[in-house]
């Protein structure tokens, strides 16, 4: 992303995620097609679309990294809460296939449109309080290669912990809809909406755990 720029990466994210969701609506009974479209292509788009704004915001607010990252993640979670009931109503009215198509187009327009406003700050940028940008972390990362990182025992442990945590979380999510129906006696459509909300919360962690 450092060389391509956040705008280009975010545009690719919108294309991959929107196209993956749209194609998922055409899967029919082909489970492998659903995995490739919604799982692989959509997952790549979702992972890229999640990390781009976080990385860009940190560059604009280097003195408030924790707060700005929390706001970005909170926005991601709020989007899941909004999308789940909308998807539930769409499934009831137009069916599953058309719901995928409609949501995929909306995702593509929203993410690609937002990408137009993303850009890195200029090289001499300073936060509003006048302090200089913190470059210690970026300088440290600049000297780290994937090979050197893989040889660092602490990095290997961190990736292993994240991977195992994600696998456990996704295993639970796969049973979220049946559990919701059994415990709360909600309809299958409402349970599917709940499962989608959990899935959206865990998707970025799954992406990082598999590709780091």
Residue 73: exposed, middle, or buried by beta-carbon count in 10 A (0-12, 13-18, 19+)?
A: middle
CA distance 179 to 16: 31
Task: Answer yes or no: are the C-beta atoms of 62 and 70 closer than 8 Å.
Answer: no
Quickly tell me which residue has 């700005």 as its tokens.
68
pLDDT of residue 127: 74
Report in angstroms the alpha-carbon separations of 187 from 3, 85, 92: 48, 13, 11
**The two structure tokens encoding residue 114:** 């937002």
> C-alpha dihedral over 177, 180, 181, 185, to 10 degrees?
-160
Q: Can you tell me the mean pLDDT for 94-109?
A: 90
Task: Answer yes or no: are the C-beta atoms of 99 and 84 closer than 8 Å.
Answer: no
pLDDT of residue 87: 81
206 pLDDT higher than 70: no
pLDDT of residue 108: 93
pLDDT digits (tens, 9 = 90+) for 9-66: 889 999 999 999 999 988 887 888 988 998 889 888 888 888 888 888 888 888 888 8
137 pLDDT higher than 50: no
pLDDT digits (tens, 9 = 90+) for 163-183: 787 777 666 666 666 665 666
Task: Answer yes or no: are the C-beta atoms of 189 and 92 closer than 8 Å.
Answer: yes
Task: Answer yes or no: are the C-beta atoms of 196 and 83 closer than 8 Å.
Answer: yes
Quickly tell me which residue has 């300073």 as its tokens.
126
pLDDT of residue 20: 92
pLDDT digits (tens, 9 = 90+) for 121-134: 887 777 776 555 44
Which of the two residues, 6 and 1, has the higher pLDDT score? Answer: 6
CA distance 205 to 49: 13
């Amino acid at each position: 992303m450092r060389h391509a720029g956040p705008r280009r990466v975010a545009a690719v994210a919108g294309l991959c995620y929107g196209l993956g969701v749209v194609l998922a609506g055409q899967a029919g009974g082909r489970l492998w097609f659903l995995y490739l479209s919604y799982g692989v292509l959509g997952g790549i788009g979702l992972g890229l679309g999640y990390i781009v704004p976080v990385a860009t915001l940190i560059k604009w607010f280097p003195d408030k990294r924790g707060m700005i990252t929390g706001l970005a993640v909170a926005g991601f979670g709020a989007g899941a809460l909004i999308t789940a009931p909308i998807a539930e109503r769409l499934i009831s009215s137009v069916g599953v296939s058309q719901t995928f198509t409609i949501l995929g187009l909306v995702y593509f327009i929203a993410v690609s449109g937002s990408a137009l406003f993303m850009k890195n700050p200029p090289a001499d940028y300073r936060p509003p309080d006048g302090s200089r940008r913190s470059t210690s972390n970026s300088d440290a990362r600049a000297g780290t290669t994937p090979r050197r990182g893989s040889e660092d025992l602490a990095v290997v442990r961190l990736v292993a912990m994240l991977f195992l945590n994600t696998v456990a979380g996704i295993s639970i999510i796969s049973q979220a809809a049946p559990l919701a129906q059994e415990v709360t006696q909600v309809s299958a459509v409402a349970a599917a909406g709940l499962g989608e909300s959990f899935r959206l919360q865990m998707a970025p962690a799954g992406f990082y755990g598999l590709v780091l």
